[in-house]
């Protein structure tokens, strides 16, 4: 049993953890390999994050798998990432299912190759009845585009008389986002030492705790994840209130 895991308070867990999985290229370069070597060796870190969430019963884990901006990377790297995604889904589908996890995908999926879309749909169909937890893959995802699409769709519904402008509030807006069925993010983790959000879940992390780790993604372990949870639990989440107000509730 992990000593760090033993420090976790099971009564104060985040409902939704999101991870920006960064550092594959630098990890590979430090070993004299090309970037694709890093992507291929990142799969174990993904398993570690999923298993850690599953072990302590965190209901939602969102992984930034491929951003809308990543389409601009060299064609060879993009092709490798797409092929790797298909291979990983084929290998991990049964494992995800057996853990009782339901898989969801958010993003502009129309840009994905047909084979990738088919494999994603296959795993979503396979796991759709699972209730132990939720694995959300953000693929071809960009938060600014998501928000713009929500604005366009609300505007269209206002024009058609389906929505009254006076009724537009945060809850209604969230109903037009990819994440409408998910809780807001409580904890955002980014690996690799970079301190930025990179167009990821901008609306959903409004009150999230942010942790930036000096760890390259392929080196991410379950104990690192558990330490992030311990650090999260040591924070006082005030949501704009004072500490005294929170303590008085």
As annotated, the binding site includes 22-27, 35, 39, 67-69, 71, 73, 190, 196-198, 209
| Rama region for 199: left / alpha / beta (φ>0; ψ in -120 to 50; rest) | left
Label residues 11-45 b or e (16+ Cβ within 10 Å = b): eebbebbbbbbbbbbbbbeeeeeebbbbbbbbeeb
- Classified as helix, coil or strand, 193 is coil
CA distance linking residue 89 with residue 83, whole number of Å: 10
Q: Out of 51, 54, 70, 145, pick the active-site residue.
A: 70
Tell me which residue of 176, 99, 175 sits closest to 134, measured CA to CA.
99
Q: Is 22 a catalytic residue?
A: yes
Q: Residue 96 contacts by C-beta under 8 Å, 6 or more apart in sequence? A: 50, 103, 123, 127, 135
Q: Note if 70 is an active site residue.
A: yes
Q: For the chain, what's the residue count?
A: 249
The owner of tokens 């080196």 is 219
- Contacts of 183 by beta carbon, 8 Å cutoff, 6+ apart: 15, 16, 59, 60
Quote the CA–CA distance of 200 and 89 in Å, as a whole number. Answer: 22
- State the catalytic residues: 22, 70
């Amino acid at each position: 049993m992990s000593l760090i895991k033993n420090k976790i308070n099971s009564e104060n867990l985040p409902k939704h953890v999101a991870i920006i999985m960064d550092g594959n290229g630098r990890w590979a370069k430090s070993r004299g390999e090309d970037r694709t070597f890093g992507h291929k060796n990142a799969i174990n870190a993904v398993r570690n994050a999923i298993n850690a969430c599953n072990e302590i019963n965190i209901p939602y884990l969102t992984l930034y798998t491929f951003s809308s901006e990543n389409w601009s990377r060299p064609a060879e790297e993009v092709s490798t990432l797409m092929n790797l995604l298909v291979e990983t889904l084929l290998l991990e589908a049964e494992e995800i299912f057996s853990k009782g996890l339901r898989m969801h995908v958010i993003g502009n999926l129309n840009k994905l190759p047909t084979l990738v879309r088919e494999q994603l749909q296959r795993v979503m169909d396979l796991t759709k009845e699972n209730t132990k937890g939720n694995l959300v893959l953000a693929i071809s995802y960009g938060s600014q585009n998501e928000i713009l699409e929500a604005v366009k769709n609300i505007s269209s519904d206002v024009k058609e008389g389906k929505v009254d402008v006076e009724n537009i509030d945060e809850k209604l807006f969230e109903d037009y986002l990819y994440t409408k069925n998910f809780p807001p993010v409580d904890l955002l983790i980014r690996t690799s030492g970079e301190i930025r959000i990179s167009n990821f879940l901008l609306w959903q992390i409004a009150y999230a705790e942010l942790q930036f780790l000096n760890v390259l993604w392929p080196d991410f372990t379950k104990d690192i994840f558990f330490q992030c949870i311990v650090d999260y639990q040591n924070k006082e989440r005030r949501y704009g209130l004072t500490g005294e107000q929170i303590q008085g509730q």
